[in-house]
Amino acid sequence: MTETAADEQAVAGVAPALRLRGVGRRFGGLHAVRSVDLEVAPGERRAILGPNGAGKTTLFNVIAGDLSASSGSVELFGQDVTHMPSRHRARLGLARTYQQSRLLLGLSVEDSIYLSILGVAGGHLRPVILKRRDRAIRQRAREAARRVAIEHKLAELVGSLSHGEHRQVAVAMALASEPKILMLDEPASGLSRGERLLVTELLLGLDRAITLILIEHDMDVALRVAERVTMMHDGNVIVEGTPDEIRANELVHELYLGRQHYADE
């Protein structure tokens, strides 16, 4: 099924936004990710689900380049990036957030988002302030802050913000760089119901040109946003399909949904 879609894309001359072939990652004797094949089409919304320890975050790290793959290959827009450092992948348009949101706690919200834009825009080593250029970047940073409704805290140190606000900053940073692929690692975890709604709205309103890959525990958010869902377990992909197919899948229920619902109660 996936192969067919990929073939179609290849025929149409459009490379998938992301293609993984047999990707594995070992930590000593532990196979965090065993052998994952995955293709995500440009503009697609994809959720990756799975119980804790399924290897979702490790897979993210391998895709982003924070970890190297022990086996297999990673392609972005048809380009093999398996051995490319993370900073170059970022320049190809890959942005991500982290589960334990890795933020720049000593910087202000504005500076954090500014750095996110600058990271892709280049000129990192420029030791002078260019008024017009820097103002333009800061303008974009403030714009991104507005989109996640954090613009009232622009001057605050990130370290002094609440957990929910950290999520907002993380998403703003990811969005601000205008990525082609956006990978969000549990964007809604630890948020209140209201905040979760906000995040869902935000994700639904994303530019269709952005390919979105999402790790999410919250099924409401994940299944509302995603067009396709990949289910992982024990380092392997076990099921892939539309949200409806996933909801209906016995295995998923047994492995994940049941437990999740149980935990929620």
Where do contacts with other proteins occur on this chain (CB under 8 A)? 64-66, 85-91, 95-96, 98, 102-108, 110-112, 114-116, 118-120, 123-129, 134, 155-157, 159-160, 173, 177
Place of tokens 């380049």: 65
**Residue 68 Cβ vs other proteins, minimum distance, rounded to whole Å:** 13
Is the Cβ of residue 180 or residue 233 nearer to other proteins in the bound state? 180
Six-digit token string for 26? 């070992």
At 258, list the tokens. Answer: 């049941």
Question: 122 or 194, CB closer to other proteins?
Answer: 122
CB of 159 to other proteins, least distance (A): 6
As measured in angstroms, the least distance from the Cβ of 225 to other proteins is 22
211-215: strand order across its sheet = 94-96, 181-185, 211-215, 45-49, 228-233, 236-241
User: Smallest distance from the beta carbon of 156 to other proteins, in angstroms?
Assistant: 6
Nearest CB to other proteins, comparing residues 24 and 65: 65
Instruction: Give the C-alpha separation, 226 to 204, whole Å.
Output: 9
For other proteins, the closer of residues 87 and 261 by Cβ is: 87
Least gap, CB of 205 to other proteins (angstroms): 23
Tell me how far, at minimum, the Cβ of 92 lies from other proteins, in Å: 10
End-to-end CA distance of the chain: 36
Rounded Cα–Cα distance for residues 140 and 112 (Å): 12
Query: Nearer Cβ to other proteins, position 135 or 208?
Result: 135
Q: Which residues contact 6 (CB under 8 A, 6 or more apart)?
A: 16, 19, 39
C-beta of 6 vs 115, nearer to other proteins: 115
Name which of 140 and 233 has its Cβ closer to other proteins.
140
Whole-number minimum distance, CB 231 to other proteins, in Å?
A: 26
